[in-house]
Structure 1
Amino acid sequence: MNEAILFETERMAFRRFTMEDRETVNVFLRDPEVMYAWEHGFSEDEVTEWLEKNLGRYAQYGYSWLCADDRKTGENIGAIGLIYNEDINGEACWEIGYIVNKKFWGMGYAAEGARGCVRHAFDVIGTGRVISQMRTNNASSRAVAQKIGMKYVATYDRIHHGKKEPHDIYVIEKRQGG
């Protein structure tokens, strides 16, 4: 396995993004359809900020959004990762997130990647609990969370760009002995 690869799933290899991945992330971060939960495709400055924020999280926590590449072709599927979030409804926790390039929608990559992230969080990071949060109207993200066995636990108001946005929280816990 390539040293840069943190872990793999059946179809994907996961590694940390670098600033050299700008063109790769532009494909999905600048696409308003992909970024509907953020209400807009990112600007060049927002892409730079997103990459820099990831580099900072890697330095601080070891993880953040990860580059999910097809194991056979090397083509980028999107960003799927483990983000240490210090305040989800007043609690610090590991969170999974998934932003999939539109070209790969409907092929099960988000669920496969999220499942791989959860397994990595339990087995390598050592946490016993992983959450996912999504806007209450984000049916696709909710479906992924449910598909991998996450359970709804709460809705809270997250402040985003100065406005309240209700978000659902889903949780999966490591089973004893597993």
Structure 2
Amino acid sequence: MIETPRLILRQWLAKDYPHFAEMSTNPQVMAYFPKLLNPSESSAFIDRIKALIEQQGWGFWAVELKENHQFIGFVGLHSQPAQFSFSPCVEVGWRLNEPYWGKGYATEAANAVLAFAFDQLQLDKVVSFTTVENEKSQAVMRKLKMRKITEFQRPVLKPDHPLSWHVLYEISKKEFQSQN
């Protein structure tokens, strides 16, 4: 578990499933993903990331507000061993429900996750990526002091898919520690 002033990042609970399923059908939340998830796909996603957290002790953690324990989405780390030309790598990523956008929660949680990545996991660098059009996530990356490295085509999407082009950002342990 990771705590920030306003948030708790933790393992997924049964009560999170319906909230995440609702998020996964919201066209605004899923605008930069290839498709909306139906309830069974949403549950399968949680089951996979929950198992990874149990296995390795880290992953895409569920995020809740400290003040009322409301589930608001996920933030965490995910290993990308072979999918990309820049693999192997570990990415920091997030997906929050729409009512919680613009409040600094993604940046707050991702900053704590980066501290975990560099202090506990002793990683040398962490990457993040999103579609070229996703300005809000890129703004979070810049707030985290990550540097834009390149643009690339996502290998799992067809080259003509509207979401195929992505931007890659990264931050090194040294860069992170010098800023914090």
Is TM more than 0.5 here?
yes
Q: 2:92–2:127: 8 Å Cα contact kept in structure 1?
A: yes
Q: What does the per-residue CA deviation read over 1:147-172, in whole Å, with 9 as the maximum and x for residues that have no partner?
A: 11000111111133x41311111001
Matches of 1:74 and 1:31, distance apart in 2 = 21
Which residue does 1:166 correspond to in 2? 165
SS in 1 for 2:46: helix
Which residue does 2:130 correspond to in 1? 134
- TM-aligned CA deviation for residue 19 of structure 1: 4.7
Which residue does 1:148 correspond to in 2? 144
- TM-aligned CA deviation for residue 39 of structure 1: 4.0
Deviates more, 1:167-176 or 1:128-137: 167-176
Q: What is the aligned length?
A: 172
In the superposition, relative to structure 1, how do residues 122 and 33 fare at CA in structure 2: closer, same or farther (>3 Å)? same
Matches of 1:77 and 1:48, distance apart in 2 = 16
- TM-aligned CA deviation for residue 90 of structure 1: 4.1
Matches of 2:61 and 2:171, distance apart in 1 = 20
SS in 1 for 2:145: coil
Which residue does 2:174 correspond to in 1? 175
Aligned amino acid, residue 175 of structure 1: K
TM-score, length of structure 1 as denominator length: 0.88
Q: What does the per-residue CA deviation read over 1:93-123, in whole Å, with 9 as the maximum and x for residues that have no partner?
A: 1111111111111111111111111111111
Aligned amino acid, residue 69 of structure 1: E
Matches of 1:118 and 1:36, distance apart in 2 = 25
Matches of 2:167 and 2:147, distance apart in 1 = 10
Q: 2:60–2:74: 8 Å Cα contact kept in structure 1?
A: yes
In the superposition, relative to structure 1, how do residues 135 and 59 fare at CA in structure 2: closer, same or farther (>3 Å)? same
Residue 81 (structure 1) aligned with residue 48 (structure 2): no
Matches of 2:55 and 2:71, distance apart in 1 = 25
Structure with more contact order per residue of length (Cα contacts < 8 Å, sep ≥ 6): 2
TM-score, length of structure 2 as denominator length: 0.87
Q: 1:133–1:170: 8 Å Cα contact kept in structure 2?
A: yes
Q: 1:15–1:66: 8 Å Cα contact kept in structure 2?
A: yes
Q: 1:96–1:131: 8 Å Cα contact kept in structure 2?
A: yes
- TM-aligned CA deviation for residue 31 of structure 1: 1.2
Q: 1:96–1:118: 8 Å Cα contact kept in structure 2?
A: yes
Unaligned runs of 5+ in 2: none
The list of structure 1 runs, each at least 4 consecutive aligned residues, that deviate by more than 6 angstroms after superposition, is none
In the superposition, relative to structure 1, how do residues 163 and 176 fare at CA in structure 2: closer, same or farther (>3 Å)? closer
SS in 2 for 1:111: helix
Which structure has the highest strand share of the two?
Answer: 1
Aligned amino acid, residue 31 of structure 1: N
Aligned amino acid, residue 73 of structure 1: N
Aligned pairs (5 A) from 1:1-178:
6-87=1-82, 88-160=84-156, 162-164=157-159, 165-175=164-174, 178=177
Unaligned runs of 5+ in 1: 1-5
